[in-house]
Amino acid sequence: MERYFPFLEKRGFKIVRRLQGDASSREFYRVRKGRQTFVLMVLDKEALELQLKVYRFLSSIWPLPRIYEVFEQALLMEDAGEESLESLWKKGKNVEGIYRELLVLTSVLQTYGPGIFPPEHPVKKRALNRKRMLNELRFTYQHFIKDRYPVREEEWDRAAQELVDSIDYSSIVPAHRDFHSRNIFLKGGRIFILDYQDCMMGPPEYDYASLLRDNYVFLEPSLRESLEANKKTFNYKLVSLQRHLKALGTFGFQISRGKKYFENYLPTTMRYLAEEVKDLELKMGLLVKRKILHRVYND
């Protein structure tokens, strides 16, 4: 990263500070030129190329931070500010209107997204399908379940297989994949959506579940019930359950790498799991009858 500093400083930019990153290896810095601030994102060449390919088309229908300049392994982007949807919720702000706007944006992506991405585009060639979802649950076993709970790997595998086989993949649409409160920022009355580079095809319920059953935010039940109106199908519940199980693997992996703050998000995920297991009790045989999930969220 430091190799860009002299270059930027010669052009009148000043490095303000490094920003907190996400679960990836990317680095983020706020830089200033005059009164205007920007974000410099440093990433490897392959990730940069993917980011640009997705941005080129997705920015035509979604509010993404504008990319101003492209360097060999960095992007100079519009500054989306400091206020995430998560931080607004933590402050007790009224976020209902924002969520309703985001539901509209999700509908826009699902309606127009299939037509804007060319057939050979990475978004069209990747999918949240049975194989990917099963691999995510196997990752969860290795990085979260294995050393914490009395569940055998073959037992977990059979239950995970049943879950992913129960999901309906017949109608797939572009999905952000990580459409949650930490990737949504607000500045000057505008919404900005971040971390969109992993956009891929998936069940239409996926982004709705990511947003409304967010691992970082537990919405008031009455508000969530209102926002979920006409969306709470059986497939929605299954996709949400899979996503929360997948999150346990992500959190466990990050915790093992020293990022202990991910432990703060386990209780919210467990609350959703408890709710979903109860909701699906008559349907999910292996996961429920054998009490696999009960052993996890009741710990």
pLDDT for 23? 57
Answer yes or no: are the C-beta atoms of 137 and 128 closer than 8 Å: no
CA distance 214 to 231: 15
For the chain (299 residues), the mean pLDDT of every run of 10, in chain order, is 68 78 76 90 92 96 95 91 96 96 98 95 97 97 89 88 93 97 96 97 98 95 94 93 95 93 92 84 49 50
DSSP strand pairing (67-70 vs 74-78): antiparallel
**Residue tagged 């929360």 (tokens):** 244
- Global model pTM greater than 0.85: yes
List every span in the chain annotated with CATH 3.90.1200.10: 85-297
Other beta carbons within 10 Å of 64: 18
* C-alpha to C-alpha distances, 89 to 85, 179, 244, nearest whole angstrom: 6, 16, 20
pLDDT for 14? 81
DSSP strand pairing (173-175 vs 184-187): unpaired
List every span in the chain annotated with CATH 3.30.200.20: 4-78
What length is written for the chain? 299
Answer yes or no: are the C-beta atoms of 272 and 280 closer than 8 Å: no
Tell me which CATH code domain 85-297 carries: 3.90.1200.10
Q: Which CATH class is domain 4-78?
A: alpha beta
pLDDT for 11? 75
